[in-house]
Amino acid sequence: MKRFLAILCAAAVCILLALGFRVRAAGKSDYSKQDVQKLLRFLLGDPADDLTGEEPYDLNTDGTWNATDITLMKQELHTVPQSNMLVVYFSRTGNTEKIAEEIIRSTGADRFVIEAAQPYSDADIRYQDDTCRANLEQNDKSVRPEIAQMPASLDGYDVIWLGYPIWWGEEPRIIDTFLENVDLSEKTVIPFCTSGSSGISTSERNIRALVPIGDLRAGKRFAASASAADIQTWIDGMELPVKKTETKIQISVNGQTLTAVPADTEAAAALAEKLRTEPLTLKLNEYGGFEKVGKLPWALPRSDSQISAQAGDILLYQGNQMTIFYGENAWSYTRLARLENITQAELAALFGSGDVTVTLSLDAE
């Protein structure tokens, strides 16, 4: 029984690993991929990984961690958005899923798979048979096949990528079930589909007519054989809403950690999105006796204006360089953030007279 439980748990953890998840328990530590790998090794019986006393895993604080804790981790996985985008898809034979995988890989979006409460068997989708379940459903616009489990909430998601196969020229009715059970009135929805040859436009019209959607973008039909490059080209051509963040930026320099409040600019939001993926370590060069400046690994959106920079300002220079001011200078910049709770004298002393290396990350608070 114990062994069976361990196998069950291991399977659950494998799924979590495959999802590349990162779970944050209220008031507890982050659960990284490495944590879960350690957990998996323990479950598989590696004596080097005895987790007894590893309090962070014990989510319900009952003194042990077990299948209940894993269930809690899974619940958190579903309730803590890791991105402002969610890829929702239904895929019976895996073609649409392949496209969804690529979108997730490219954008870092979260995933929700629509599964029928009563799964579609092979016979159910044998469209050559007029009386197969899929054909009967598609012939009746009012049918709403039940979904096994709806997402707990779409709060925190600005963008929903919605994927499905084309069945008889339209979206499968189970997509209508999904649409009628969520509130998309303030979301950006991007439909995508796969098909033998039919286009996406009829399903787009159906979706538009079915429920209110904040911003329904033009969708895209892919062949099952679509390449990663095809999908990437489509994604690149899309202007996606950037998540607004209240989160502060942490800046580690010479052993001290400072916090900065992001500016209300597109550049600041884009920087936060980058830092959400991973921290950034930058070498900054001394310049002019008033700033440290370094080249970013990517360009950020410019909205330059003449700024009288003060000590503590973190500004974007020429779209791809970050400057941290410990003195003053007037020039054309885009605001990124402003350091808080530190004086000009403290800043000057901390940054010193030479080059410095800083690490930026998102504040965990």
Ligand X SMILES: Cc1cc2nc3c(=O)[nH]c(=O)nc-3n(C[C@H](O)[C@H](O)[C@H](O)COP(=O)(O)O)c2cc1C
Compute the distance between CA of residue 231 and CA of residue 309 in angstroms, rounded to an integer: 42
Q: Does the protein bind ligand X through residue 83 (CB under 6 A)?
A: no
Q: How far is the CB of 89 from ligand X (least distance, A)?
A: 8
CA nearest neighbour of 200 among 228, 171, 238: 171
- In the complex with ligand X, which residue's Cβ is closer, 45 or 94? 94
Stretch that binds ligand X, among 7-15, 21-29, 91-99, 274-282 (CB under 6 A): 91-99
Strand partners, 335: 315
195 belongs to the binding site for ligand X (CB under 6 A): yes
Choosing from 37, 64, 79, 93, the residue that interacts with ligand X (CB under 6 A) is: 93
Among 32, 64, 68, 94, contact with ligand X (rule: CB under 6 A): 94
Nearer to ligand X, 21 or 90 (CB): 90
Give the residue ranges of DSSP H helices in the chain. Answer: 2-18, 33-43, 67-79, 95-107, 133-138, 173-180, 201-210, 228-236, 266-277, 344-351
DSSP per-residue codes, 175-209: HHHHHHTS--TTSEEEEEEE-SS--SHHHHHHHHH
How many Å apart are CA 190 and CA 220, to the nearest integer? 8
Site for ligand X in 119-158 (CB under 6 A): 125, 127, 134
Residue 43 near residue 6 (C-beta atoms within 8 A):
yes
156's torsion region: left (phi>0), alpha (psi -120 to 50) or beta?
left
C-alpha 280, offset from chain centre: 18
Task: Name the pairing type of β-strands 321-325 and 291-295.
Answer: antiparallel
Q: Is 92 one of the binding residues for ligand X (CB under 6 A)?
A: yes
Contact status: 116 vs ligand X (CB under 6 A): no
Q: Please say which residue, 93 or 357, places its beta carbon nearer to ligand X.
A: 93
Contact positions with ligand X (CB under 6 A) in 284-303: none
How many residues touch ligand X under the rule CB under 6 A: the total is: 21
Per-residue binder mask for ligand X (CB under 6 A), 22-61, x = binder: ----------------------------------------
Q: Is there a contact between 184 and 213 (Cβ–Cβ < 8 Å)?
A: yes
- 95 is a site residue for ligand X (CB under 6 A): yes
Instruction: Name the one range near ligand X by CB under 6 A: 47-55, 191-199, 204-212, 303-311.
Output: 191-199
Q: Which residues bind ligand X (CB under 6 A)?
A: 91-97, 125, 127, 134, 165-169, 194-198, 224
